[in-house]
Structure 1
């Protein structure tokens, strides 16, 4: 009877191991994606790229650097709709059609301010550098609004794992 229990137990352990391997084999591949974003053959100087999972999964995004490059260091396998936006860099006085309320020069009402934070030391001591608003305005390049809409951009990418490159070439 003990031999039978031992045999049954070992079959259970083997079955659990096979099941665990099956689950691991079904998990989506991971990796990174990087590339360059151009508009009319010229690198975009700023904005954001977003990869929106077509089956409703996770969305991944990255800023566009001044040379037009972007990098998403960790992304899971799947089919993605891709968007590109530069409106976030648009100078404040030129926000026609952007669905954000403008902020008054005085800032938010005093009763809505968060409590004062006591941060340790100078943020610059920790490597934080505040971007100058003028630098962002210099990076703004207007592109057709369709590229900010996942259903209208026409940009698609199938990520299958590993380190992949996806250059995005925009036009009118």
Structure 2
């Protein structure tokens, strides 16, 4: 880590202090540098340098506010598996660009091991909102051949901490 940069070959060089910082920031991103430094037994300046290095390396990609979708009026979580009509780079790029523009879509992944190509998670107000989303937007994306919907009964847990 002497260069201050990480690459795929040196990711194993991230030490336990870096891992502690990442865990703390993933669960409490508003923690001050002073408090972070205390928690990992560093002074503020070296702590800030480590965080900056992790940001520059693209390991820390941003800081986010976690919200309660139910309290914001979007209690219904829907998983939608999508099959595309053709498997071309252009078709996939077009789909990904379009689906990313929909505020209801909270995640989108290309998947294997299924007949479907994509799995998206959508948040909607109610069934009428879901119907509008499905029939008037998702199904109108060129190349969408088939969709399979599963409704989330209850989220057991969700985390991004690694």
Asked whether the two chains share a fold, i.e. TM above 0.5, the reply is no
**Which structure has the highest strand share of the two?**
1
Q: Which has the larger radius of gyration?
A: 1
Query: Into which bin does the TM-score normalised by the smaller protein fall?
Result: under 0.3
TM-score scaled by length of structure 2: 0.25
TM-score scaled by length of structure 1: 0.24
The structure showing larger relative contact order (alpha-carbon pairs under 8 Å, at least 6 residues apart) is 1
